[in-house]
Amino acid sequence: MEESFLLELAEEHGTPLFIVDHDIIRENYRRFRTALPRVQAYYAIKANPEPEIIETLFKEGASFDVASLAEFLRVYNLIKSWRKQEKSGFIWDKIIYANTIKQIETLKRLRPYKPLVTYDNESELVKIKEHCDTAGLVCRVNVPDTGSMVEFSSKFGVDPADAGYLIEKAFSLGLSVEGISFHVGSQCTNPDNYVTALNISAEILDEVEKRHRLRLIDIGGGFPIAYLGNEIRFESLARIINSELERLFRRELEIIAEPGRFMVANSAVLITQIIGKAKRKGKLFYYIDDGVYGTFSGVVYDHCQYHFSSLNKKDGEKEICAVVGPTCDGFDKVSMSEELPDDLQLGDYLLTRNIGAYTTVSATDYNGIPRAKILHMNR
């Protein structure tokens, strides 16, 4: 979207203003499917659970990765008017509950839907057997996540050496194991993580299939977007993944993935307004109407650094300055090293791009400061 148009939207709707372009979401989905033709994309709703985004991807033919009953029901609401057989088929083929630890009440409520769920420990198997024995199971394996912006290996995944036992344990309980999954960490810029994980999964699969036939491999998410411009290009990573998939897995084995950030990060921009300006120990501080307790929550929870440009003034002498949020908390600093014009004034606007993932979903109304208004374009 042109900056002149964004400026008009800010004047019309006020700030902070979070603008989602659904044309970009559709483009990202199609780009993923083109680059990884063998892989079905299960959108990780946690990245941005806006119902409008889910509906756009639903219409594109996406499947969905959910991590809670609430997320499951957001997808289910799109098909609740379907016939029972159609709904059952969709839930089995198009939704994976990819949180390895589930509350008992959640399992009870999921049981009638016969869901596909992940697990990575024996205690979870006992819960599933008792409260959701209709589920199809996917065993999540711990894999390296070196070089990823957000790591998962310290919290999730059975050790590869124990995966065969854990799969056999599920079968011995009368449960059905459908496949193996892994996650190389979010915003993974190290392609070796995928290569290693795929080879680990293939070794486990070969051992398990001496006794049981599995039907899918879930390669997780982590597909990087260009925050800085020096990340590996997605198509280059896809070529590596495609090569390993062809080498390691039989053609009839279903391959799925859980892209979240990749689908939505670059689809949104945020417009903020300067509400304060001061010099602090020689450094210029710009105070804006959103911060780390709001849309910039990804600074804290996603380990992501966002950047700013001036939306309506370009001519001032640039200097390194701080951009901080509106709350009374000293922690509320978005960036301490932004290069911006030094002549920006109260009421001027700043623009942040690539802010569609892991931002509004974790925003709060701390200090009673309202969250950003969300505007959906090109639906």
Active-site annotation, residues? 328
φ, ψ for residue 149, nearest 5 deg: -65, -35
Look at residues 38, 72, 44, 70 and name the one whose alpha carbon lies nearest to residue 57.
Answer: 44
Q: ω before 224 within 30° of 0 (cis)? A: no
C-alpha distances (whole Å) from 125 to each of 92, 135, 217 are 19, 11, 19
- Beta-bridged to residue 42, according to DSSP, are 63
H or E element, residue 333: strand 333-341
Given a contact cutoff of 8 angstroms between Cβ atoms, the answer to whether 20 and 52 are in contact is: yes
User: Which residue's structure tokens are 């392609």?
Assistant: 191
Look at residues 70, 120, 119, 113 and name the one whose alpha carbon lies nearest to residue 93.
Answer: 113
Other Cβ atoms closer than 10 A to 52: 13
C-alpha distances (whole Å) from 327 to each of 210, 274, 276, 290, 364 are 59, 13, 12, 8, 11
Side chain identity, residue 163 = A
End-to-end CA distance of the chain: 14
Given a contact cutoff of 8 angstroms between Cβ atoms, the answer to whether 151 and 140 are in contact is: no
Question: 3-state DSSP call for residue 237?
Answer: helix
